[in-house]
């Protein structure tokens, strides 16, 4: 494989993972799984950042991934706290039941 093809395959895997995460967010109704799918999308983007960082031999992309991971950890903690609070109020984590903002 030449470097360009190499990069293309990594980007393709990244795109496919992002697509899976997006479809998951659209089809699942369990808030925890929707949240997991968002994590999957974040990881897919991380993969493409690392692939470009490796292709261009530039550590900037790697640093960006490092910060994305830190923010993702913070986001996971807050998101799961929100899900726990939601479960306390509604006895459910089904996002079809949480629809005050819908109308």
* Contact between 102 and another protein per CB under 8 A: no
**Shortest CA distance to 36 belongs to which of 47, 24, 50?**
24
* Contact between 50 and another protein per CB under 8 A: yes
Q: Which is nearer to another protein, 18 or 100 (CB)?
A: 18
Nearest distance in Å: CB 100, another protein? 17
Instruction: Identify the residue among 3, 101, 102, 103 touching another protein (CB under 8 A).
Output: 3
Contact in structure between 82 and 35 (CB atoms under 8 Å): no
* Exposure string for 90-101, b = 16+ CB within 10 A, e = fewer: eeebeeeeeeee
* Contact between 90 and another protein per CB under 8 A: no
**In sequence order, which residues have a C-beta less than 8 Å from that of residue 72 and are 6 or more positions away?**
39, 42
Contact in structure between 36 and 62 (CB atoms under 8 Å): no
* Contact between 85 and another protein per CB under 8 A: yes
Q: Which residues bind another protein (CB under 8 A)?
A: 1, 3-4, 7-13, 15-24, 26-30, 32-33, 35-37, 39-40, 43, 46-47, 50-51, 53-59, 62-63, 65-67, 69-78, 80-85, 87-88, 92-94
């Amino acid at each position: 494989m030449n470097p360009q093809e190499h990069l293309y395959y990594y980007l393709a895997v990244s795109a496919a993972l992002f697509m899976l995460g997006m479809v998951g967010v659209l089809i699942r109704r369990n808030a925890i799984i929707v949240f997991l799918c968002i994590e999957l999308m974040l990881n897919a983007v991380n993969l493409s950042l690392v692939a470009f960082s490796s292709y261009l031999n530039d550590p900037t992309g790697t640093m960006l991934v490092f910060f994305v991971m830190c923010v993702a950890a913070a986001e996971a903690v807050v998101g799961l706290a929100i899900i726990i609070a939601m479960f306390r109020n509604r006895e459910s984590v089904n996002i079809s039941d949480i629809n005050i903002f819908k109308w």
